[in-house]
Amino acid sequence: METTGQRLSVIGIGYLGLTHAVCMAEIGHDVLATDIDSEKVAKASAGEAFFYEPGLEPLLRKHLESGRLRFTSAIADAAEFAHVHFLCVGTPQGTDGRADLSYVRSALDSLAGYLSSGCLIVGKSTVPPGTARPLAERVRALAPAGDEVELAWSPEFLREGFAVADSLRPDRLVFGVSSERAVVRLREVFAPQLDNGVPGLFMDLETAELVKISANAFLAVKISYINAMAEVCEAVGADVGKLAQALGYDERIGSRFLGPGLGFGGGCLPKDLRSFRAAARELGVGSVADLLSTVDEINLGRRTRVIELARKSAGGSLAGKRVAVLGVAFKPGTDDVRDSPSLDVCGRMSEEGAIVTVHDPVAMPNAARANPVLRCAASVREAAEGADVVLHLTEWADYRAIDPAALGAVVSRRVLIDARCVLDAPSWREAGWDVTVLGQS
Binding site for ligand UDX (CB under 6 A): 156-160, 216, 219, 223, 257-259, 261, 263-266, 268-269, 330-331
- How do strand 7-11 and strand 30-34 relate by DSSP bridges? parallel
Structural contact between residues 182 and 153, judged by C-beta atoms closer than 8 angstroms:
no
Residue 441: name the closest of 234, 282, 250, 289 by CA.
234
Q: What are phi and psi of 386, to 5 degrees?
A: 75, 10
Structural contact between residues 329 and 337, judged by C-beta atoms closer than 8 angstroms:
yes
What is the C-alpha separation between 302 and 307, in angstroms, rounded?
A: 9
Contacts of 288 (CB under 8 A, 6+ apart): 276, 277, 280
Helix (H) or strand (E) holding 92, with range, is none
Look up 268 and say whether it is catalytic: yes
DSSP label at residue 211: H
- Per annotation, catalytic residue among 268, 346, 376, 421: 268
Specify the long-range contacts of residues 94-102, CB closer than 8 Å, at least 24 apart. 96/278, 97/271, 97/274, 97/275, 97/277, 97/278, 98/128, 98/274, 98/275, 98/278, 98/279, 99/126, 99/127, 99/128, 99/131, 99/271, 99/275, 99/278, 101/127, 101/131
Amino acid at 158: L
Residue 70's alpha-carbon distances to 6, 103, 112, 186, 366, in angstroms, are 14, 22, 21, 22, 27
Contacts of 205 (CB under 8 A, 6+ apart): 132, 133, 136, 151, 152, 153, 176, 177, 178
What residues are labeled active site? Answer: 268
